Structures are given as structure tokens and as C-alpha cells.
């Protein structure tokens, strides 16, 4: 596939603060295609207050939305991922709990809405370096 790849979207409907319904996801996907995108990662928030947002659910919901896109004739390939936030309780997560790009166990996407890295961030970097 040729085209741009969006590495951070909230296309999965009803999962977090992104698209609310499938129709809205389809509308956003059509806009991405019109802007030259051929692929997009579905990266819902991975927050303690959203316990249902985990790798297994993200894969399942991404596959389901891909089928909806195919039915609607939207030529956007979806891949699973997740938007991690640096939180102290997450440093003890297992590899299976950490969503990576395409769930391939190699690269993570972090939301860094902070001015200064917290003291426990070094532990996160070592966990992510060990993913490959």
C-alpha cells in the first residue's frame, strides 16, 4: 500500500474520547483517505480508569471496524495499537499488557502531556527496550 500512515487515531467507536459511533469512524476514515492516508493505527487511551482498553480488546475492535470499513468501501487499512500514559502503577505490567504498534511487541506510543518526566520513567524505557 502506498500513502501516509497515521500512527495515532481514536477511530474505535465508543472506546474513549474519539469517535462515538461506527458512522463517525467511517466519516473520519473517509477524510483520512481523502488526505492521502492508506493506513491508520487505532490507538485508544491506555489509562487505569479504562480497564477494558487492553491489547486483546483493541485487536478485536480494530478487526471489527476494519470489516465495517470494507462494507462501506473505505480503503483504509487499520492496525491495532495503544496510547500509553506514564503512570506509576503501570511500570509492573507484563509484556502482554503493553499495547505496541500492530501488537508486534516492538514499538510503543506514549502520551507525554507533562513538562518533566516522572522519576519512574526510566523503568518504562527499560521495559520498552526489552520488547523486541
CATH at 42:
3.20.20.140
Instruction: Give 34-78 as a DSSP string.
Output: HTTEEEEEE--EE-TT-TT-SHHHHHHHHHHHHHHHHHHT---EE
Cell of 115: 513538562
Task: Please state the rounded mean pLDDT for residues 95-103.
Answer: 89
pTM (2 d.p.): 0.87
Q: Whole-angstrom Cα distance, residue 71 to residue 90?
A: 37
Phi/psi for 107 (5° steps) reads -120, 140
Task: Please state the rounded mean pLDDT for residues 54-78.
Answer: 97
Number of domains in the chain: 1
R_g of the chain, CA atoms, integer Å:
15
Residues 4-56: pLDDT tens digits?
A: 999 999 999 999 999 999 999 999 999 999 999 999 999 999 988 888 999 99
Q: Whole-angstrom Cα distance, residue 81 to residue 98?
A: 9
Give the structural domain span for 54.
4-129
Amino acid at each position: 500500500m502506498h500513502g501516509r500512515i497515521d500512527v495515532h487515531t481514536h477511530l474505535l467507536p465508543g472506546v474513549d474520547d474519539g469517535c462515538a459511533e461506527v458512522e463517525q469512524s467511517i466519516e473520519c476514515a473517509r477524510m483520512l483517505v481523502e488526505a492521502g492516508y492508506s493506513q491508520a493505527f487505532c490507538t485508544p487511551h491506555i489509562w487505569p480508569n479504562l480497564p477494558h482498553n487492553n491489547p486483546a480488546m483493541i485487536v478485536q475492535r480494530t478487526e471489527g471496524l476494519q470489516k465495517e470499513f470494507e462494507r462501506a468501501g473505505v480503503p483504509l487499512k487499520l492496525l491495532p495499537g495503544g496510547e500509553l500514559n506514564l503512570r506509576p502503577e503501570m511500570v509492573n505490567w507484563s509484556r502482554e499488557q503493553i499495547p505496541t504498534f500492530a501488537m508486534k511487541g516492538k514499538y510503543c506510543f506514549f502520551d507525554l502531556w507533562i513538562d518533566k518526566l516522572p522519576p519512574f520513567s526510566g523503568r518504562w524505557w527499560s521495559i520498552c527496550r526489552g520488547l523486541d
